[in-house]
Amino acid sequence: MSAESADIKIPAAAVDRSYLHDGTSLKSWLLTTDHKRIAILYFASITAFFFLGGAAAALVRFNLITPQGLLGSPETYNRLFTMHGVVMVWFFLVPAVPVTLGNFIIPLMIGARDLAFPRLNLFSWYLFMVGGTITLWALFVGGLDTGWTFYTPLSTTYSKGHVALAAAGIFVAGFSSIATGLNFIITIHRLRAPGLTWYRLPVFIWSMYSLSVLLVLATPVLAITLLLMLLERLFHIGVFDPAVGGDPLLFQHLFWFYSHPAVYMMILPGFGVISEIIPAFARRPIFGYKFLVWASVAIAVISFFVWGHHMFVAGTSVYSAVLFSILSYMVAVPSAIKVFNWLGTLHKGYIHFDAPMLYALGFIGLFTIGGVTGLWVAALAADVHLTQTYFVVAHFHYIMVGGMVSAYFGGLHYWWPKITGRMYPEAWARIAALVMFIGFNLTFFPQFILGYLGMPRRYATYAPEFQVLNVLSSAGSTILAAAYLLPLAYLLWSLLHGKRAPQNPWRATGLEWQTPSPPPTVNFIATPHVTQGPYAYARPDKESSAKEPPHGEAHE
């Protein structure tokens, strides 16, 4: 099937020019079907949502400097943490890596010219923006104070916020997730370059594939759950109302059936990014490729069967709690495997400390802390004490922010030359990575102790004995905020003033590095043929004789 049919026509401009120069009008961006341009559209939206959610978080930390709450109004505080949760979960953490890096890199990595359904891809961006706009409207104009979890009957009956509107927005954005997942799965199945067998796929592709399965199978359940919640709110249909014969716990079951896999939707792409960066900067093939790959798949499968561990004190039966506890330990095993494999890759490597690698190393450390504290909350009796306290807040921020956001920044720096055709300023990037690591730990480590001491989540005011740790956490958050603003500044600067990026600045082996930076619209002028596995890094002492990518440039 390598011969192309005559009816496939490639416009000359798509071959000659970089995708950034293939049309400059607004229309050429807003109606583009090029996965790379759509990724850029997503980059812009995702960045806006990230700083919005971050601003809400900053205000939350500001409020908690004093026990009485500096904002003065619990209602404002409740709206802020709800805004932080809703924006970050649905409009940053779940979509961020897939729709930006995934959208851009997946076709390049598998030697394809685009995703399988380019128009669907564009449509999903519009859905995302429509859903995002509706949700933001609800958050800003009406205010929403249910927390991102929308527990019934608070959300359906008692809250005065704009619950229905927010649910409608998330409902719409959900279909964007489904469309993206569907597109990725079909693309990875059908559009791999000749010779690119499943076991020659980079781990990033495998984790994007696992993630897509989660998106496609879990998001529809969120859609129907939000629809029922919305109808309950508007018409009091009673599905979640015990007075009519419904069940408020049913909502929690359905909600977590989506939202637990959602946690893995957030972290699986992170695993993928890290598994690309570490071999590239350790100059070694990844350790235990097949274990890493199947660990991703195992995580995707098991993550569907652990939702009940969010409900150990919610009033479900003891038997279900015991079952969900052991399943939660099972899902932790593949994650542990991954950490050991990354360490195994570093062993006997030739390690370079460029910014992407610093983010990746930070990821390993922070993710491990997030992971081992997961063991605490999976142990039933310990969870009874720790759940709904700041311990849980710290735990999942170590996974989400320490893990996923570090990976996002790592990936952003790693592929920045490919995406923009410019190098970012290395020194600044290293400083940002370091400051982010320090600021993050200062912000969230004290929260573990706060949680053990019993400080509940979502409290606008708190007992005075918790103040010292809260001040420490708020102080850390200012450092963290500064660390996030740094990349915004220097990456934007590099768009205009950065050094021109060579085709393969990291001497990495992925197919995405075998085409110019930035790539032409058509991605590859000649379809690549793959003859070996993804991480064929030769040892530097034998490098001269080893096969290097054709246009590889010297590193540093």
The reply on whether position 243 binds other proteins by CB under 8 A is yes
The binding track of 109-148 with respect to other proteins, each residue x by CB under 8 A or -, is ---xxxxxxx--------------------------xxx-
Shortest distance, CB of residue 197 to other proteins, whole angstroms?
16
* Single-letter amino acid, residue 162: H
Among 41, 46, 97, 332, binds other proteins (CB under 8 A): 332
The reply on whether position 321 binds other proteins by CB under 8 A is yes
Q: Name residues contacting other proteins, limited to 26-65 (CB under 8 A).
A: none
DSSP structural state of residue 69: -
Written as six digits, the tokens of 113 are 């010219």
The region of 24-32, 48-56, 96-104, 324-332 touching other proteins under the rule CB under 8 A is 324-332
The reply on whether position 189 binds other proteins by CB under 8 A is yes
Among 297, 364, 475, 536, binds other proteins (CB under 8 A): 364
Q: Name residues contacting other proteins, limited to 446-485 (CB under 8 A).
A: 452-454, 456-463, 465, 468-469
Q: How many CA atoms lie within 13 A of 130 on its CB side?
A: 14
Shortest distance, CB of residue 206 to other proteins, whole angstroms?
16
- Give the C-alpha separation, 516 to 96, whole Å: 25
Nearer to other proteins, 224 or 427 (CB): 224
Among 30, 31, 140, 348, binds other proteins (CB under 8 A): 348
**8 Å CB contact between 3 and 94:** no
Nearer to other proteins, 308 or 498 (CB): 308
The region of 136-144, 264-272, 371-379, 475-483 touching other proteins under the rule CB under 8 A is 371-379
The reply on whether position 223 binds other proteins by CB under 8 A is yes
Q: Name residues contacting other proteins, limited to 69-98 (CB under 8 A).
A: 74-75, 78
* Single-letter amino acid, residue 478: T
Q: How many CA atoms lie within 13 A of 333 on its CB side?
A: 10
Q: Name residues contacting other proteins, limited to 251-280 (CB under 8 A).
A: 254, 257
Contacts of 514 (CB under 8 A, 6+ apart): 503, 504, 524, 528, 549, 550, 551
The reply on whether position 322 binds other proteins by CB under 8 A is yes
Among 17, 18, 23, 238, binds other proteins (CB under 8 A): 238
The reply on whether position 352 binds other proteins by CB under 8 A is yes
Shortest distance, CB of residue 308 to other proteins, whole angstroms?
13
The reply on whether position 550 binds other proteins by CB under 8 A is no
Q: Distances from the Cα of 119 to the Cαs of 34, 130, 150, 377, in angstroms? A: 9, 17, 33, 43
Question: How many residues line the site for other proteins (CB under 8 A)?
Answer: 136
**8 Å CB contact between 122 and 180:** no
Contacts of 251 (CB under 8 A, 6+ apart): 150, 151, 152, 225, 228, 229, 240
Q: Hunting for tokens 């949502």 — which residue is that?
A: 49
The reply on whether position 246 binds other proteins by CB under 8 A is yes
Determine the 3-state secondary structure of 500 from DSSP.
Answer: strand
The reply on whether position 341 binds other proteins by CB under 8 A is yes
Q: Name residues contacting other proteins, limited to 284-303 (CB under 8 A).
A: 287-288, 291
Among 28, 199, 340, 553, binds other proteins (CB under 8 A): 340
Contacts of 243 (CB under 8 A, 6+ apart): none
- Give the C-alpha separation, 402 to 407, whole Å: 8
The reply on whether position 346 binds other proteins by CB under 8 A is yes
**8 Å CB contact between 303 and 265:** no
- Give the C-alpha separation, 129 to 246, whole Å: 34
Q: Name residues contacting other proteins, limited to 193-222 (CB under 8 A).
A: 216-221
**8 Å CB contact between 282 and 346:** yes
- Give the C-alpha separation, 430 to 1, whole Å: 46
Shortest distance, CB of residue 8 to other proteins, whole angstroms?
5
Q: Name residues contacting other proteins, limited to 503-532 (CB under 8 A).
A: 522
Determine the 3-state secondary structure of 422 from DSSP.
Answer: strand
Nearer to other proteins, 200 or 395 (CB): 395
Nearer to other proteins, 388 or 478 (CB): 388
